[in-house]
Amino acid sequence: MAFGQPKIEYKTNSQILKMREAGLVLAEALDEAVAAAQIGVTTARLDEVFAGVLERHGATSNFKGYHGFPASICASVNEEVVHGFPSGYVLADGDVLKIDGGAIIEGWHADSARTVIVGTADPEDQRLSDVTREAMWRGIASLAEARYVGAIGDAIDDFVSGVPGAPLGILEDYVGHGIGSEMHQAPDVLNFRTGHRGARIKPGMCLAIEPMLVRGGIETKVLADDWTVVTTDGARASQWEHSVAIHLGGIWVLTAHDGGVEGLAPFGVVPTPIMP
């Protein structure tokens, strides 16, 4: 590795199993927060629901207190892309909500995000979410045979740029990341093609893959709260994310209940769990 580059943390099987525990708690917490995301509900209430699941399982949030972040989830609505604060905002029909959360079990982290369309979806908003979700799964599937992390961005970019209909933009200012004993680690996981191959993929590497797509331009700005990222043109955005482990037996989606079986099946990839 070149001098000055962040060191990548490679996990043992037992450490990945702890991350899987955190991932399952996180999946349940997101399930409950998504189910609660109804017309008339505040985003602060979703934070309470999510935090309650973590507490029930003895997990802690890796978001709350992170550089002063005040909540257990990011709740970003419509043109808010990421890092939105849960608040007294009341969800309305047609809102595009991104719920991003994390969990820690015995020092090991998991990170995942979903897009929810509240009430009746605008067809183009639904398309945006569907394409973002499939882009995430295509990025994950690329890990099955990829030699370098850059292949993830290549797979996502190739898919998104080839989707019929109105073009969708891939955010470049915010990307995926390594994950393990900390929430954000090396390497960066880009969601777009750059021509750079990135870090070599090795067993023990765990990555959070999180494409963020927009219906308009990819330019963003940060609001006065120093956290909430919005599109400068007001276009709506979608985010989907899973934490994934690479091990000697294959890949395993740590934040999916089934380990990624359903999401990877269309691409002929079968995830392989690590046995205790």
178 residue type, one letter: G
How far is the C-alpha of 133 from the C-alpha of 135, rounded, in Å?
Answer: 5
CA 99, 102, 103, 106: dihedral to nearest 10 degrees? 180
pLDDT of residue 251: 98
Known binding residues for a divalent metal cation: 100, 111, 177, 210, 241
Evaluate whether 221 touches 229 at the Cβ level (below 8 Å): yes
User: Can you give the pTM of this predicted structure?
Assistant: 0.96
Structure tokens at 125: 């908003």
How far is the C-alpha of 117 from the C-alpha of 97, rounded, in Å?
Answer: 6
Evaluate whether 206 touches 11 at the Cβ level (below 8 Å): yes
Evaluate whether 255 touches 245 at the Cβ level (below 8 Å): no
219 residue type, one letter: E
Nearest to 110 by CA among 182, 169, 167: 182
Known binding residues for substrate: 83, 184
CA angle 107, 110, 113 (to 5 degrees): 150
Known binding residues: 83, 100, 111, 177, 184, 210, 241
How far is the C-alpha of 254 from the C-alpha of 273, rounded, in Å?
Answer: 9
Structure tokens at 104: 């820690």
Residues in Cβ contact with 200 at an 8 Å cutoff, skipping those fewer than 6 apart: 147, 148, 149
**CA distances, 244 to each of 68, 91, 176 (Å):** 27, 31, 11
Strand order in the sheet with 169-170: 169-170, 212-214, 237-239
Buried b (16+ CB within 10 A) or exposed e, 50-68: bbebbeebebbbbbbeeee
Evaluate whether 169 touches 135 at the Cβ level (below 8 Å): no
Helix (H, G, I), strand (E, B) or coil at 186: strand
Give the chain's domains with CATH numbers.
13-267 (3.90.230.10)
Tens-digit pLDDT string for the chain (276 aa): 344 567 999 999 999 999 999 999 999 999 999 999 999 999 999 999 999 999 999 999 999 999 999 999 999 999 999 999 999 999 999 999 999 999 999 999 999 999 999 999 999 999 999 999 999 999 999 999 999 999 999 999 999 999 999 999 999 999 999 999 999 999 999 999 998 899 999 999 999 999 999 999 999 999 999 999 999 999 999 999 999 999 999 999 999 999 999 999 999 999 999 987
Helix axes 43-56, 13-36, angle to 10 degrees: 140
